[in-house]
Structure 1
Amino acid sequence: MTEKDNIKAQQDSIILEEKPWINLKGYKAKLDRGKPQWFIFLWWLLEGLIFPLTPHNFSGLRCSLLRLFGAKIGQGVVIRASARVYFPWKLEIGDYSWIGENVYIYNLDNVKIGSHTVISQKSYLCTGSHNIKNANFELTTAPIFIGNGVWIASDCFISLGVKIGANTIIGARSTVLKSIPSQKIAWGNPCKIIKNRTLSDI
């Protein structure tokens, strides 16, 4: 082993010897799940078994299953078979909206999606995080609201507490950490407003 390798090994050892600032042993998830544990497990079981096996165009069946577990879903909604919803009873989707392939709606808190809105493939809506100022890594949640006529392009991350106004477009692979007003085009990591959008653009 060279002297350079020895120095690197010592540095790695020091990193692993440093004391952690958080104590996960003391972590307790204080979360209002909204339903009893057996009901939640039943949903996860059925979603894991039924959703992946349904044909591509059977959105009506998938919407019916979500409604059965408490979701509020409008007419003409398209939900692909690989999409996942953590708690259906905390989800509301307006009419004629689309939820694409491998979209994950991690709705520990409420998620409301307007009408004629598109959430494209591999996008992740996350209503949960952790308090980095708390030694026990306390769970924090906040709702997500996405307005009418919005397009969330593929592979976007939408963080807790974010509100996206009507007729706004979020570009692909954006990380949205703050709310975006109506009628904007925005993208980036972090997501920033690029320009206004008007009806004359259509």
Structure 2
Amino acid sequence: MTSAISSGNLIVDPNAPAAVDLRHYDQSWFERGRPGWTILLWWLMQATLFPLTPHSAHGLRVSLLRRFGAKIGRGVSIRPTARFTYPWKVEIGDHSWVGDDVVFYSLDQITVGAQCVISQKSYLCTGSHDLQDPAFGLQTAPIMIGNGAWVATDCFVAPGVQIGANAVIGARSTVLKNMPNQQVCWGSPCQPRYPRVFRN
């Protein structure tokens, strides 16, 4: 590693040895859930046909996802630029919306309840790495989002997180722990702020 910094306080030691050795990275244990040819076919479909579908063709996109094993309820709206790593590890309840550029990084199960909104550019991430493992081992954990919840634009939801029913996650929040039912939450890290009160 070389540095172009020639003055000021250098806080990075370019000669410090790396404690991580990525040559020993091994994810052979990881179960993708489908044969390699199915995965390649899905990625090809997602890169070509899926994003070229008409904006209002939610039913067509839902049908494609179902054909690849996703469990999707009635009346679900999914934008053409949404991305699903492994759709067979995704379940979405009735009448939910998935916005443009949402990423379902579904190395593990992602369950979205009914009447939910996952707004544009949000990232549901079920995979990470063991920070204490010199081989940088893969770790996965499921995400569950309760009925009626809204994950607003550009949020990051970490592996293992559960978001309660009717909760709201404010824009650009980083959700690293479970959020309770019917609370308005935001921040990096995300915290519950006050109850979500519905008008009669």
Question: Which range, TM-score by smaller chain?
Answer: over 0.9
Shift of 1:132: 0.6
Show the counterpart of 2:196.
197
Partner SS for 1:16: coil
Structure 2 residue identity aligned to 1:194? R
State the shift of 1:18 in Å. 1.1
The 2-side partners of 1:57 and 1:6 are apart by: 54
- 1:20 corresponds, among 18, 21, 34, to 18
User: Identity of paired residues, percent?
Assistant: 52
TM-score by length of 2: 0.93
Task: Spell out the pairing of 1:62-77 with structure 2 (5 A cutoff).
Answer: 62-77=61-76
Q: Residue 19 of structure 1 aligns to which amino acid in structure 2?
A: P
Structure 1: gaps (5+ residues): none
Task: Specify the structure having the higher radius of gyration (Cα).
Answer: 1
Aligned residue for 2:44, secondary structure, equals helix
Q: 2: CA distance between counterparts of 1:43 and 1:6?
A: 48
1 CA distance for matches of 2:141 and 2:46? Answer: 24
Return the letter of the residue paired with 2:37: W
Residue type matched to 1:53 in 2? L
Give, in angstroms, the shift of residue 142 of structure 1: 0.2
Equivalent residue letter for 1:151: W
Cα distance between partner residues in 1 of 2:7 and 2:86: 49
Q: Distance in 2 between matches of 1:92 and 1:162?
A: 15
SS of the equivalent of 1:180 reads coil
**What is the Cα deviation at residue 197 of structure 1?**
1.9
State the Cα distance separating 1:7 from its structure 2 match: 5.0
SS at match of 1:15: coil
2:171 corresponds to which letter in structure 1? Answer: A
- 1:34-183 equivalences in 2 (<5 Å): 34-183=33-182
Distance in 2 (CA, whole Å) between partners of 1:180 and 1:8 is 42
Deviation beyond 4 Å, 4+ runs, structure 1 = 5-9
Q: What's the CA shift string for 1:23-70, capped at 9, x where partnerless?
A: 100001131101111110110001110111111000100000000000
Long gaps (5+) in structure 2 = none
Q: Distance in 2 between matches of 1:17 and 1:93?
A: 49
Equivalents in 2 of 1:190, 1:6: separation in Å?
Answer: 35
Q: How far 1:114 sits from its partner (Å)?
A: 0.3
User: What is the RMSD of the two structures over their aligned residues, measured on CA atoms?
Assistant: 1.5
Structure 1 residues 6 and 45: CA distance shift in structure 2, 3 A? closer
Contact 2:180–2:192 (8 Å) recurs in 1: no
Using the alignment, how far apart are the partners of 1:64 and 1:136 within structure 2? 39
Residue in structure 2 matched with residue 33 of structure 1 by the alignment: 32
